[in-house]
Amino acid sequence: MYTIAVSPEMYTVLRQRAQQVRTSPDKVVEEALRVYFGREEQAWQHAFEGLIAKVQARTLPHSSAEIEADITAAADEVRELRRARRRTD
């Protein structure tokens, strides 16, 4: 168990809410944090899904083979640049 500090006013609100739902202030805080972090996770998930949709929309005109060829070419280019840098060092 951990201790957190809240203002006296906030604790009064917390205690009142706990009484309304017939539970302890600890449980109200725990549920509030669960909801808060759940929303944060949902916001992250929504942003990630939006990013995936953008990437898919941009790659839609290209075949998988074209994308794979570009990735392979880029990887080969990086390997060659690293080899060249090692030769000059």
Number of folded domains that form the chain: 1
Note whether residue 50 is domain-resident: yes
Distance CA 68, CA 88 (A): 31
pLDDT at 25 exceeding the cut of 80: yes
CA 78 to chain CA centroid, nearest Å: 29
User: 71: domain range?
Assistant: 8-88
Render pLDDT for 37-89 as a digit per residue (tens, 0 to 9).
888 888 888 999 999 999 889 888 899 999 999 999 999 999 999 999 998 87
* pLDDT given for residue 65 in this prediction: 94
Note whether residue 38 is domain-resident: yes
Distances 40 to 34, 45, 82 between C-alpha atoms, Å: 10, 9, 40
Note whether residue 3 is domain-resident: no
